[in-house]
Structure 1
Amino acid sequence: MLSLTRNAPRLWQAAGCRLQSTLVVAEHDNVTLNPITLNALTAAKQLGGEVSCLVAGKDCAGVVGELSKAAGISKILVAESEALNGFLPERLTPIVLATQKQFNFTHIVSGATAFGKSLLPRVAAKLDVAPISDIIEVKSADTFVRTIYAGNALLTLKSKDPIKVITVRGTSFEAALLEGGSATTEATALPELPTEMSDFIKQELSKSDRPELTAAKTVVSGGRGMKSGDNFQLLYALADKMNAAVGASRAAVDAGFVPNDMQVGQTGKIVAPELYIAIGISGAIQHLAGMKDSKTIVAINKDPEAPIFQVADLGLVADLFKAVPELTEKL
């Protein structure tokens, strides 16, 4: 019989068992932490066992300081290099793999963003395990729930892989609070990073005084019914009055009305604000998959048979070009 002593972890592993522990890969811009990391941290805590975080980037001491405030993190591993400029997945993957090998993590977790979706499937392939994407619930350390068929069905899956590589839908987990933290910080040795596969040239980020789409408490979205990009000025005026973010359906993006970083839906951004106002949006399944978890949904559409009214809490059958200016004026 195996007795539990201060050397229990070593004895446990010697007996052929693996202690459960989770690595959360932090998403950031070298200055501030992306809020979805805090949602991923909540999911990681639900897995049980120790939780560690990896902060990889360049001159990211501020991110480490911010993350160290969160409770439930045992240690923060820091990897800094000029080669990590741009956060290319080809260069981040060897760091994640080396960290997992060094500390024998059983779970690797990140947010289901462009960052997580480009990095973790690559990590999973290198580990020869199946990635578990976009989970919305943790049942146990090896059992998870995710949506399928554009959110019309829920799938409960049980993974038998020795290492679980998971991306987390941020809107399904509360953000961990940045208080009560006592994590230790340590630098991790950098493996050889590939430089011949890709190079970071530059990035162009859109700037706005409005809240970021996935973090906003109120979202105003427009669809094909807006008829042109110029007409989105109606939504911008309404959003400014409500301190809201502005989104769009895929139909509006495909028509060239607005850039694709505003797209809400299955192939766009997943949002779950307190208030979602859908204007001129018919309510295709692809769009509903990205916003139907919103607490209150308001729809404005001149077609009373539009599918959006089936999920809306409040609906207004009206010409948006009359209704929106009137609503903006009354706010």
Structure 2
Amino acid sequence: MAEILVLVDHVDGNPRKPTLELLTLARRLGEPSAVFLGAGGDTTIETLGRYGAQKVYVVDAPSVDEYLVTPAVDALTQIAASAEPAAILLPSSLDGKETAARVALRLGSGLITDAVDVTARDGGPVTEQSVFAATYQVTAHVTQGVPVITVKPNATAPEPAPATPAVEKVDVTFGPVSAAAKVVDRTPRTRSDRPELTEADIVVSGGRGVNGDFSVVERVADALGAAVGASRAAVDAGWYPHSHQVGQTGTQVSPQLYLAAGISGAIQHRAGMQTSKTIVAVNKDEDAPIFELADYGVVGDLFQVLPQLVDEIDRRRV
């Protein structure tokens, strides 16, 4: 069976949800092999094996954590040269897409980014993508070299397929480009109990209609175990951090449930959330464009509607 390389995105050795999704998708295409950079342990290997990794390539050179994105490029390029995989899958994060582009260039391969689905057909992997601000769904496949594909988070649900992976430690030669820029200092990111915006199954976003008060949006998000998003108008006004912006120029999300509160639905915002599985809109303007996209809509004042929603969620949990 053809080998499929999956780049592991992890935090302190713990694989993140998009990696588990990629391993699930990789099983459709062939035999998944995980490429892990950094110091991992038995727990890391066990987690990757639980989601179908048949093999784990471990690159644990001291310089891995000193450099920026290029160590992953060197590792994937050199492993692909010997493993001859049928495809390489990476998460559609900023680092993931930069890594994928460089790997494809070095391998002389075709590149597909921001896939929302991957299936196996004769001739290799076929992807589905949302294009032109998520107005159209298209299919694509690579016609040259090893397909290098980045996949959006929440493209599929992680499905366990227990395996006992073989572990191969790999010595990677890092080129001069990798050593050109080093990380000299790190500041740990403030951790939150809420899930990551790109990985969350549920996202609750606020827009201009919150009038600077995101507390009611956060209450709903916490009641649902959701991430908090914001429209461009909200972040430009300084009401919420730019890292939470959902839209064409912000973060693109595709959760199971997207709740838009006080968001009109401009095309810039729609491009970042239109592929959500279920969309619920709350807006006092019945002509707001967001209602054209929503599966369910409530015409009303979000400061009256959302507290009632929180109360109902709490009542049903009792």
CA contact (8 A) 1:120 1:165 kept: yes
State how far apart, in whole Å, the 1-side matches of 2:186 and 2:202 are: 31
1:147 and 2:130 matched: yes
1:90 and 2:74 matched: no
State how far apart, in whole Å, the 1-side matches of 2:180 and 2:13 are: 26
CA drift of 1:60 comes to 4.9
State how far apart, in whole Å, the 2-side matches of 1:61 and 1:255 are: 46
CA offsets per residue over residues 172-220 of structure 1, 9 Å max, x none? 222131x521211111122135454212231441321223333333321
Count of aligned residue pairs for this structure pair: 308
Give the aligned residue type for 1:82: P
Give the aligned residue type for 1:70: Y
**SS in structure 2 at match of 1:105:** coil
For residue 216 of structure 1, what is the aligned residue in structure 2? 200
State how far apart, in whole Å, the 2-side matches of 1:273 and 1:226 are: 22
CA drift of 1:165 comes to 0.7
**SS in structure 2 at match of 1:207:** coil
CA contact (8 A) 1:23 1:107 kept: yes
Find the partner of 2:43 among 54, 59, 62. Answer: 62
| Residues 176-191 of structure 1 mapped to structure 2, 5 A cutoff | 176-177=159-160, 179-191=161-173
1:279 and 2:261 matched: yes
For residue 166 of structure 1, what is the aligned residue in structure 2? 149
**SS in structure 2 at match of 1:159:** coil
CA drift of 1:326 comes to 4.1
Give the aligned residue type for 1:197: A
- Higher mean alpha-carbon deviation, 192-201 vs 246-255, is at 192-201
| Residues 306-321 of structure 1 mapped to structure 2, 5 A cutoff | 306-321=288-303
For residue 238 of structure 2, what is the aligned residue in structure 1? 256
1:52 and 2:36 matched: no
CA change 1:163–1:311 in 2 (3 A) is same
After the TM superposition, which parts of structure 1 deviate over 4 Å for at least 4 consecutive aligned residues? Answer: none
For residue 117 of structure 2, what is the aligned residue in structure 1? 137
Gaps of 5+ in 1: 1-18
CA drift of 1:110 comes to 0.9
Find the partner of 1:79 among 36, 56, 59. Answer: 59
Give the aligned residue type for 2:37: A
CA drift of 1:119 comes to 1.2
Give the aligned residue type for 2:62: E
Give the aligned residue type for 1:25: L
Find the partner of 2:99 among 114, 119, 122. Answer: 119
CA contact (8 A) 2:2 2:85 kept: yes
State how far apart, in whole Å, the 2-side matches of 1:268 and 1:249 are: 9
Give the aligned residue type for 2:94: A
CA contact (8 A) 2:13 2:39 kept: no
For residue 192 of structure 1, what is the aligned residue in structure 2? 174
CA offsets per residue over residues 151-185 of structure 1, 9 Å max, x none? 111222232112111101232222131x5212111
CA contact (8 A) 1:22 1:109 kept: yes
CA drift of 1:83 comes to 1.4
State how far apart, in whole Å, the 2-side matches of 1:239 and 1:111 are: 25
CA contact (8 A) 2:229 2:244 kept: yes
| Residues 19-38 of structure 1 mapped to structure 2, 5 A cutoff | 20-38=2-20
1:300 and 2:316 matched: no
TM-score normalised over the length of structure 1: 0.84
How large is the RMSD of aligned CA atoms in angstroms? Answer: 2.3
CA change 1:217–1:133 in 2 (3 A) is closer
CA drift of 1:59 comes to 4.2
> Whose Rg is larger?
1
State how far apart, in whole Å, the 1-side matches of 2:115 and 2:50 are: 25
Gaps of 5+ in 2: none
CA contact (8 A) 1:52 1:77 kept: yes
State how far apart, in whole Å, the 1-side matches of 2:249 and 2:29 are: 28
